[in-house]
Amino acid sequence: MTTIYPEASLDSLIESELPALVDCYKMLHAMPELSGQEEKTSAYLAGELRSLGFSVTVGVGKYCHKTWLGYGVVAVLANGPGPVVLVRADMDALPVEEKTCLPYASKVRACFRDAQEVGVMHACGHDVHVTSLIGTARMLARLKSSWQGTLVLIGQPGEEGGGGAQAMLDDGVFQLFPKPDCALALHVTSHLDAGRVAYVPGNFMASFTEVDITVHGVGAHGSAPERGKDPIVIAAQLILALQTIVSREISPIEPAVLTVGSIHGGTACNIIPDRVQLELSIRTYDDAVRDQMIASIKRIARGVALAAGVPEDRAPLVTRKAAHPANYNDPELTGRVAHSLTHALGEDNVVLAYPVMASEDFGTWGLGREIPTCMFWLGAADPVLFRESAASGVALPSHHSPHFAPLPEPTIRTGVKATTSVVLALLRGEDPPLKSNILQE
Q: Stretches 39-47, 121-129, 295-303, 369-377: which one binds Zn ion (CB under 5 A)? A: 121-129
Q: Return the biggest CA–CA distance within the chain.
A: 91
Q: Stretches 23-31, 117-125, 211-219, 265-273: which one binds Zn ion (CB under 5 A)? A: 117-125
Q: Which is nearer to Zn ion, 124 or 167 (CB)?
A: 124
Q: Stretches 33-41, 118-126, 313-321, 382-390: which one binds Zn ion (CB under 5 A)? A: 118-126
Q: What is the DSSP letter of 128?
A: H
Backbone angles phi, psi at 66, to 5 degrees: -65, -40
Report yes or no: 292 and 250 within 8 Å, Cβ to Cβ: yes
Q: Which is nearer to Zn ion, 230 or 360 (CB)?
A: 360
Q: Does 124 bind Zn ion (CB under 5 A)?
A: yes
Q: Does 34 bind Zn ion (CB under 5 A)?
A: no
Strand ranges (DSSP E) for 206-297?
207-216, 220-221, 256-265, 271-272, 275-284
Q: Does 215 bind Zn ion (CB under 5 A)?
A: no
Print the binding letters for residues 77-116 with Zn ion: x by CB under 5 A, - otherwise: ----------------------------------------
Q: To the nearest whole angstrom, how small is the minimum distance from the Cβ of residue 34 to Zn ion?
A: 12
Q: What angle do CA 328, 432, 347 make, to 5 degrees?
A: 80
Q: Which is nearer to Zn ion, 89 or 424 (CB)?
A: 89
Print the binding letters for residues 266-305 with Zn ion: x by CB under 5 A, - otherwise: ----------------------------------------
Distance CA 100, CA 93 (A): 15
Nearest one of 256, 234, 235, 253 to 245, comparing CA atoms:
256
Q: To the nearest whole angstrom, how small is the minimum distance from the Cβ of residue 399 to Zn ion?
A: 5
Q: Does 197 bind Zn ion (CB under 5 A)?
A: no
Q: To the nearest whole angstrom, how small is the minimum distance from the Cβ of residue 430 to Zn ion?
A: 29
Q: Which is nearer to Zn ion, 124 or 165 (CB)?
A: 124
Residue nearest to Zn ion (CB): 124
The one-letter amino acid at 221: H
Q: Which is nearer to Zn ion, 28 or 426 (CB)?
A: 28
How many other C-beta atoms are found inside a 10 Å radius of the C-beta of residue 7?
13
Per DSSP, the residues of 13-65 read HHHHHHHHHHHHHHHHHHS--BTT--HHHHHHHHHHHHHTT-EEEEEE---SS
> Bridge partners of 87?
153, 184
The footprint of Zn ion on this chain (CB under 5 A) covers a number of residues equal to 1
- Which residues sit at the interface with Zn ion, rule CB under 5 A? 124
